[in-house]
Structure 1
Amino acid sequence: MVVIERNGNEKRKLMHKNDKCVGCGICVQLCPTQSLELGPIADISRGKTNQDKIKIEKDSCVLCGLCASVCAFDALNLEIDGKNIQDLPNYPKWTHFSEIDEENCIYCGKCSYSCPQDAVFFQRNLPKPTDLIHGNISINEDDCLYCKICEELCPVSAITIKAIPESSTRTDLAVPNNIEVDLDKCVQCGVCKRACPQNAIKQVCDTCMYADELPEPEITGKTFIDNNCVYCGYCKELCPEDTIKVVKPFDGEMLIPEAEECKDCQDCIEVCPCNALEIKDGFLSLNEERCILCGACINACPLDALQLRRSSMKLENITNASWQKIIGKLLE
């Protein structure tokens, strides 16, 4: 994290959080004092160098807050007298967002498993199997050989056969002589009963008989999106219940070339925070549904082959005329 602080009539502090930076370069493009420089984001993404994605020239930065205002990913923050400018009335406000409808979420976890930024988390609480499965199991230890066939075949590892030494002096000679069934794990499938060579296991499953009396499985939990989200919408795309809503920071289009040399370079693929680019059939391919038009791929492309056209952005409350002109460059 880079931090710049200055005291005067106001105490100003600018912070750059490298872990949230996507390398879009918007702050570099719009900085009125040219105090920002984009690092080698392709090498950074590949782990070849440990540099920050943005370099800030502390001597020339005037802490105006323009960079923090236009950062759509909360990687730059400016505080004035301890207050974030996002909470002050005279600064621009981003209105894009991502949210999950908790009431209708079924806690399947697809959003969490698929997020390219690991920004979606979920906790799932499942009922105990014993609340849903009823039955009885007993073992005649006089007939049991402790052969471990049932233990090895049990699909839920509910059976344990172990050796309890009969003498404390020769524990190395102990042979299997004890069997235990964990009823919290047992699913009353009957595999152990069918596999026992001595017919020493008796098992009766009552689940079907009492199915109408057993409760429906109640699955509860919690799902949330943290502030590392880049608003790609991949979670929304995969959600089977349509419980996720995503509004992206920009509207527009990305134009990509049909150049064979792209498959050898792949710098754009490395830096894309959304996993929206891939090599398909020998050419660079874009998943338009996931692209957030951030421009990181353009910054990484050594051929200057990619083109970005933004038609609108979810940035409002730009009251300063000079800032309106500068920020308007994002749509040119």
Structure 2
Amino acid sequence: MKLLKTGTDQELTIERVLHAKSYALTLNKTLCTGCGICVEACPREAMETKTFPKVEGGKTQSPTVQIDEEKCHYCGICDSICPFGAIDVMVDGQHLISVVERESFPQLIREIEVDATKCDLDCTECEEACPLELIQVNVQGPSGKKVQDVESWPDREELQVVVDIDRDLC
């Protein structure tokens, strides 16, 4: 068995190479926000969040996730639970999440439906709350064209809110 750990400014990869199989976990540092969800979910405690002290007058550095290649068992819980898609687990070069394959981990339901008829014309809370910027809220006129200035529209009853969600990434 061979354990490998390689890293750049953009990604960290750990690998376990066995005689018959190889496992790899890649953390994309540009997508990772350091939220710590993977750290909390890891059953082997193979991940930890590293925080940085605030420098007076400087910009706060985001936390980073560190992975212990000796503790990781490549179960894929971190891959399946990361809301930012920052972690990929590969088995023999194939993206494979063993806990999902074996149905030993609850599958996340990502089918989000928004009843836009209940939305106020000036509300964009869901758009602002989405950490991945996958939700876009627009107001359309009767012709289906986007309305920029809702306040100056003569008959606000004609307007409707449209909520677009990037379903491929959500």
- What TM-score does the superposition give when structure 1 sets the normalisation length? 0.29
In structure 1, the partner of 2:67 is 56
Report the Cα offset of residue 34 of structure 1.
Answer: 1.4
Please say if residues 35 and 60 of structure 1, whose CA atoms lie closer than 8 Å, have aligned partners that are also in contact.
Answer: yes
Question: 2:48 is matched with which residue: 26, 31, 37?
Answer: 37
In structure 1, the partner of 2:153 is none
In structure 1, the partner of 2:29 is 18
Distance in 2 of aligned mates of 1:3 and 1:52: 18
In structure 2, the partner of 1:68 is 79
Question: 2:39 is matched with which residue: 18, 21, 28?
Answer: 28
In structure 2, the partner of 1:244 is 164
Q: Which has the higher contact order (CA 8 A, sep 6+)?
A: 1
Structure 1 residues not aligned, in runs of 5+: 99-113, 118-228, 248-313, 315-332
Question: 2:132 is matched with which residue: 207, 218, 230?
Answer: 230
Report the Cα offset of residue 52 of structure 1.
Answer: 6.1
Distance in 2 of aligned mates of 1:245 and 1:42: 36
Question: 1:81 is matched with which residue: 92, 97, 119?
Answer: 92
Distance in 1 of aligned mates of 2:64 and 2:33: 8
Distance 1:34 1:239, change over 3 A: farther
Report the Cα offset of residue 90 of structure 1.
Answer: 3.4
1:90 aligns with 2:97: no
Max radius of gyration: which structure?
Answer: 1
Distance 1:36 1:82, change over 3 A: same
Distance in 1 of aligned mates of 2:34 and 2:51: 9
Please say if residues 2 and 15 of structure 1, whose CA atoms lie closer than 8 Å, have aligned partners that are also in contact.
Answer: yes
Aligned-pair identity (%): 21
In structure 1, the partner of 2:13 is 3
What RMSD in Å do the two structures reach over aligned CA positions? Answer: 4.0
Q: Which amino acid aligns with 1:90?
A: R
How many equivalent residue pairs? 119
**Larger fraction in helix:** 1
Distance in 1 of aligned mates of 2:111 and 2:86: 15
